Amino acid sequence: MKIVVVGGTGLIGSKLVTKLSEHGHEAVAASPDTGVNTLTGEGLAEVLAGAQVVIDVSNSPSFEPAAVLEFFETSTRNLLAAEAAAGVGHHVALSVVGTERMPENGYFRAKIAQEQLIEKSSIPFSLVHATQFFEFVRSIADEATDGNTVRIAPVLFQPIAGDEVAQAIGRVAVGSPLNGRIEIAGPERFRMDEFFRDALTGWGDPREVVTDPHAHYFGSEPGERTLVPGESAILGQLRYRDWPGRNAARK
């Protein structure tokens, strides 16, 4: 099966290309690095020729609200139009758990707009909502840092390993379209402030984690359950403390 992975040279995309290829599929990475640009349409018709499935794990180069909205709307429109012309039978997109619970967040609004375009298109689809990746823990702490203080809200947090995200998306991609969504998350649920306090200690990081009920998460104040999935979520098996990349997060 020919499967085109949009964003296929990124963190999750490169893992997907490897895993799908190992299972005998023709997995093709599509990104500006490989001559495919979903914003301009460059290379789309060529890369989608003969494809049965498209997986979109691309991301905006800017998280500024207007820019990220423009990216996801333009990219998704171009991609869906090219897929319809090529006869693609399954569109899979990676999104974020909690998008609908924090609409004041610019990035989450953009992901909602992307999902609505997919849902209204003629192409059968599957949406995979994932929690935060282990690989992004460092950047979450950095974004919440003010001087030597990391301000984190005491809300629920259930991160997942990038490898398990790729594995779940791959399984969805080779199956029948859901025409709906699934949620995936890590096996453990934490209080976010406690998680980061333990993580920074493990890294030997001198910053102090301060519990702040009004701390923002990338510009918005999360609620108690904003970032965690529902009871029917598919859970990974790898715990953060056992993740091979955990020690690599040390400075």
Gap between the Cα atoms of 227 and 247, Å rounded: 24
* Contacts of the segment 134-137: beta carbons below 8 A, 24+ positions apart: 134/159, 134/160, 134/161, 134/162, 134/186, 134/240, 134/243, 134/245, 134/246, 135/11, 135/161, 135/162, 135/245, 137/196, 137/199, 137/240, 137/249
Domains of the chain: residue spans and CATH: 2-249 (3.40.50.720)
Q: Is 153 helix (H, G, I), strand (E, B) or coil?
A: coil
Which residue matches tokens 């023709």? 26
Indicate the pTM of the whole model.
Answer: 0.94
Digitized pLDDT (tens) for each residue of the chain, 251 residues in all: 999 999 999 999 999 999 999 999 999 999 999 999 999 999 999 999 999 999 999 999 888 999 999 999 999 999 999 999 999 999 999 999 999 888 889 999 999 999 999 999 999 999 999 999 999 999 999 999 999 999 999 999 999 999 999 999 999 999 999 999 999 999 999 999 999 999 999 999 999 999 999 999 988 899 999 999 999 999 999 999 999 888 664 44
Query: Edge-to-edge strands of the sheet including 208-211?
Result: 145-146, 149-152, 208-211
For 133, the token pair is 């990746």
Across the chain, what does the average pLDDT equal? Answer: 95
First to last CA, the chain: 42
The pLDDT of residue 166: 98
Per-residue pLDDT tens digits for 75-109: 999 999 999 999 999 999 999 999 988 888 999 99
- Reading the block at residue 46, the tokens are 């060529």
Could you say which DSSP state residue 51 is in? Answer: -
Asked whether 159 and 132 are in contact (CB, 8 A), the reply is yes
